[in-house]
Amino acid sequence: MNFRVGAVVFSNNEVLGQGFNFFSCWNESNRRVSVHAEMHSISGLRHDVVRNTEMVVVRINKRNEPKNCNPCPKCMKMLARKGIRKVYCPQENGDIKVFYP
């Protein structure tokens, strides 16, 4: 993997879950299926625990340098469904982009 992505879901300064991106399996067309950090970070958490929380998503390259990141449309949909209010994504220029799923 050229990039690693990590996600932390939190509420009121309490960390509820954390996750990272990884390849989980091969599909029928012989393509690798990846689990995204956003999905991984909330897996196993009850719906009422995840509701009204916030998340930080960080993407780094092989040299551990922060790279621009945006949650993909699939994750944004899933985050909206789960009731996550805000997603913070640090960018390579030091800015923090905020998304409202």
For 78, residues 6+ apart whose C-beta sits below 8 A from its C-beta are 38, 39
Q: State how far the alpha carbon of 88 is from the alpha carbons of 7, 8, 17, 19, 31, in Å.
A: 10, 10, 15, 15, 30
Nearer to Zn ion, 13 or 42 (CB): 42
The window from 28-36, 47-55, 57-65, 87-95 that contacts Zn ion (CB under 5 A) reads 28-36
**One of 9, 16, 50, 75 touching Zn ion (CB under 5 A):** 75
Is 1 a binding residue for Zn ion by CB under 5 A? The answer is: no
Q: How far is the CB of 73 from Zn ion (least distance, A)?
A: 8
